[in-house]
Chain A
Amino acid sequence: TQLLEQSPQFLSIQEGENLTVYCNSSSVFSSLQWYRQEPGEGPVLLVTVVTGGEVKKLKRLTFQFGDARKDSSLHITAAQPGDTGLYLCAGARGNYGQNFVFGPGTRLSVLP
């Protein structure tokens, strides 16, 4: 059973376009993380959101945690080829790593 769903699974866009990636679940999480993974590397943490309704901005990336702490979105403004990678959301159902669950990922390709 996939506890976290991500959409879309694949996305190919032109440089300069905007995009939004969604992470949804029927479960409540104590926190939610977004990671980006490039080929041949481990996932790199982008942000952690903790409070329902929280919005965090990281340059061109905007992250939102749903009010009920069951879903999240990642919005990228004016995408660049350097944004290409696999975007993973992960939910923590407690304060310890063994309660982590990862979404299937969104593979983003930004074409120059």
Chain B
Amino acid sequence: DAGVTQSPTHLIKTRGQQVTLRCSPKSGHDTVSWYQQALGQGPQFIFQYYEEEERQRGNFPDRFSGHQFPNYSSELNVNALLLGDSALYLCASSLMRQGYQETQYFGPGTRLLVL
């Protein structure tokens, strides 16, 4: 089992550009969540996808958008990049089962630097 994989591992962009990050969930998982982790801070929830729809969203602007594909993989898109978007972007996968405290499995993250 490959676990959660993310690509690319590192990325450098300039202000105003757009970026797409990718995530493949752990085998058997159907839910993908994205988190942003600034240096020295805990991860902050961006949004969660299940059945190809955004189910929950954190306090992030519309510049952050996503997509989930039929094979459960997911993309995170950020438009009009700002310097403050520089962070580690983490993808977590899980299985959606009501009433269960399902574990979220995290990937290694994509380190984004905006210049």
A, B assembled together: no
| Interface, chain A (partner B; CB < 8 A) | none
